Amino acid sequence: MGGIEAKRADVQLLAMRQTAAEHVLRDSWRDRVPTLGLNFQEQLQQPSTGFALSHSWAAVLQLSVPIYDGGLRSGEKRERRALVDEAAANLTGGKVQARSDVRIAGDAIRLADQGLASARRAGAQAHEALATRPGPTRPDPTRPTRPTRPGWRGGRSTIRLKRPMGALSGLPRDCELEDFEAKA
């Protein structure tokens, strides 16, 4: 294992499980070793009799030598091998998944970096467009300028008529109206 994948907790857990399964398989030889057990027991009898004391101790030493197990030890060893194989397959799958996750995260970071670079270029183009935009001191060269009327207050305010629209329909277009009021 190497790189970022090895630092993931799930991959480390799978590696530890494989190591533990291999250790249990290596210790399979202990199934064939004789065992020796020693037991101490305290005995209390009330009321005491002539043959048994009221308070005594007993020690039992037991030796167990496996002679015939009916295939149990070989079956357990095969099971332990299967557990090692399963742990190895799980670790391989975990590594593949971790590499995939790292690759996907790297692609997401690259895409985010490309988006950031694109946004910076768009911001620079917007600043450039604002610097060349026509304003109050710089007229737009692509549009003809309008002649201004004397007394016209225009601008961004709206104009409201004092007379109804029908009353003005008979006036010639070049007639100057004094009844306009600018609403701020």
Total number of domains in the chain: 1
% helix, strand, coil for the chain, step of 5: 50, 15, 35
Name the one residue in this structure whose structure tokens are 């009799």: 49
In a domain? residue 176: no
Task: Determine the pLDDT at residue 81.
Answer: 97
In a domain? residue 180: no
Q: Which domain holds residue 104?
A: 1-30+69-134
Task: Determine the pLDDT at residue 44.
Answer: 84
Please calculate the CA angle 104-106-107 and round it to the nearest 5 degrees.
65
In a domain? residue 165: no
The rounded distance, in Å, linking the Cα atoms of 100 and 90 is: 15
Task: Determine the pLDDT at residue 136.
Answer: 65
The rounded distance, in Å, linking the Cα atoms of 14 and 94 is: 7
Task: Determine the pLDDT at residue 127.
Answer: 87
In a domain? residue 160: no
% of residues, the chain, pLDDT over 90: 45
In a domain? residue 6: yes
Task: Determine the pLDDT at residue 3.
Answer: 77
In a domain? residue 43: no
Task: Determine the pLDDT at residue 179.
Answer: 44
Low-confidence ranges of the chain (pLDDT < 70): 1-2, 134-184
Task: Determine the pLDDT at residue 129.
Answer: 83
Q: Which two tokens stand for residue 44?
A: 């209390």
Task: Determine the pLDDT at residue 180.
Answer: 45
Task: Determine the pLDDT at residue 132.
Answer: 76
Q: Helices 9-26 & 72-132, crossing angle to 10 degrees? A: 170
Task: Determine the pLDDT at residue 166.
Answer: 53
